[in-house]
Chains A and B, each alone.
Chain A
């Protein structure tokens, strides 16, 4: 009889164990939700403060105590946008970012295609070296680059700056496009060849349309990298400053509310673009969003 009861105890979990189990599950769930909430707040709270401050008048930004209800005042933003040099810097930033986008997609797409479709000598080395360009910090590179740029006459040009930004964006462009092309079955291209296409036509008619969303994402990513870059921009441009360089140098002495306005203008395009292409960034980082 004693044996029997023992057996029964072992085979069926007691209510105690079940309760323990569900409460452990609850704890984990709670932990998960709270850490997710913490991480979201970590990112969103500064952005929230930035937006609120940028859209408040100078008095509110510098005053104390803070009101819980944010006010909506375009005075600071208007002041910032009319501040001498801002519009020119904004234009420079857009031009440099556009150049960067064109260079990194123009070079990155063929390189990515080669990585995806061909076996060539030194392929793995190439893959490594491409990443190596990101191994050196910009402060280390910026000064020698500035010297070389002065020698060849590229100093203080947006094109020169775009070259530097493209070198930052290219590794991503190459690796993203390579994985894009890997995802397109080679048989589709072969079918196109047999049906009368040469290599370029097959790429243009079959591969391109399928890769286009991903290529756009990778272009936008290059744009954002250039848009956000400060150090090289600050060192390599003087008269043709981009917005980041301009903000670093001109606004250090500005009142807080103007800094906030500048910050908002800086992060808006980046946020917007990243939001638009988030699906492709997830897939390139190996995170599924489904």
Chain B
């Protein structure tokens, strides 16, 4: 049982409050992604879990163990870095064996573990090479194998795919997903790429300026963004937010903004009862659908519509937001 309990973690560098009281409960074997733009504190939180940074206040527990004051080496975690951090003076075998050697594991067990993880990451043919002789993708595999070989309680990954080119990233993403599912290790994964987060995570923690806005499974995050910020960050294009739409009579008390995803409209070419006219400004044909930028009563609105609809730039389109998809947000930007 390896849960991670993060309670009221605060951290500031000089005047900048990087983390403002972060609390997070991660379940055993769960894959949690910390998602947010750069500077939101996600990497700092990961480094605090690893013990590479020290929190100003708050408690970190791995399982039942309070690790708040322990150095990294005593936390039984493993970490994969963005730039791989494969030791250049050691062979791939010795890189993967490094953590085991530090634990004074027997040679037989080292050999067994190294070969098993190398096989898992498909690098068994590279064991005698040095990092200088490897490609970026291969180095990444070595870094992951090195982390898994020590059989850590917790696996921490800091944007591990962001240095790979697009195609390789896709391939590694699905491979990583399989490997980590198999290893059943509780994982915390940092990224700024929402697609990566959505596709990998059991639960995503969306971070915004040192706080966690929402911590939930990907579907829930997409369908019911807890804050305006989450709705605006997740989804491409993001959720539309319309200020005080007078045409809607379903607004609850205190509602300030209506949030609605681009695909959640009923669309008509003719005026019908309950439909709103919007003016089309730009049309982007994306094959599977068309993405429109339009204007409704002076507010920008992005809509995805079926690709066969004969819309024209400057033309008028009639829309009705699907009632069950409408989300309302209060003055503070929180969902009602």
Contact = CB atoms under 8 A, between A and B. Distances in A.
Interface of A: 185, 187-188, 190-198, 201, 206, 209-210
A192 B103 CA distance: 12
**Dominant secondary structure of chain A at its interface with chain B:** helix
Contact of A187 (B51, B77, B83, B156): B83
B234 interface: no
Contacts of B156: 194
B50 interface: yes
Contacts, number: 58
Contacts of A198: 71, 73
B150 interface: yes
A67 B72 CA distance: 73
A192 B85 CA distance: 9
A195 B50 CA distance: 11
Contacts of A209: 89
Interface string B47-65: 0001110000000000000
16 contacts: A185-B83, A188-B88, A191-B81, A191-B146, A192-B98, A193-B72, A193-B73, A194-B51, A194-B78, A194-B79, A195-B102, A195-B146, A196-B103, A197-B73, A198-B71, A210-B88
Contacts of B87: 188, 191-192, 206
Nearest to A208: B89
B85 A185 contact: yes
Nearest to A206: B87
Interface in B62-99: 71-73, 77-79, 81-83, 85, 87-89, 98-99
Given A198-B71, A210-B88, A190 B146 contact: no
Given A196-B73, A196-B103, A197-B73, A187 B150 contact: no
Contacts of B150: 195-196
Nearest to B84: A187
B183 to A, nearest CB: 17
Lowest 4 A-B CB distances belong to which pairs? A196-B102, A195-B99, A187-B85, A191-B85
Contacts of A196: 73, 99, 102-103, 150
Nearest to B82: A187
Contacts of B79: 190-191, 194
Interface of B: 50-52, 71-73, 77-79, 81-83, 85, 87-89, 98-99, 102-103, 146, 150, 156
Contacts of B52: 190, 193-194
Contacts of B83: 185, 187
A45 to B, nearest CB: 42
Nearest to B81: A187
A73 B119 CA distance: 67
A245 B81 CA distance: 55
A138 to B, nearest CB: 40
Contacts of A188: 85, 87-88
A198 B52 CA distance: 12
Nearest to A210: B89
Contacts of A194: 50-52, 72-73, 77-79, 156
A75 B150 CA distance: 68
Contacts of B73: 193-198
Nearest to A212: B89
A194 B154 CA distance: 11
A195 B98 contact: yes
Contacts of A185: 83, 85
Given A195-B146, A198-B71, 6 more contacts: A188-B87, A190-B79, A190-B81, A195-B102, A196-B103, A197-B73
A182 to B, nearest CB: 15
A206 to B, nearest CB: 6
A192 B87 CA distance: 9
Contacts of A192: 87, 98
Contacts of B99: 195-196
A198 B102 CA distance: 10
Contacts of A190: 50, 52, 72, 79, 81, 85
Q: Give the one of A192, A193, A195 with max B CB within 10 A.
A: A195
B331 to A, nearest CB: 41
A210 B81 CA distance: 19
A130 B158 CA distance: 38
A185 B89 CA distance: 13
Nearest to B73: A196
Nearest to B98: A195
A206 B102 CA distance: 13
A201 B81 CA distance: 20
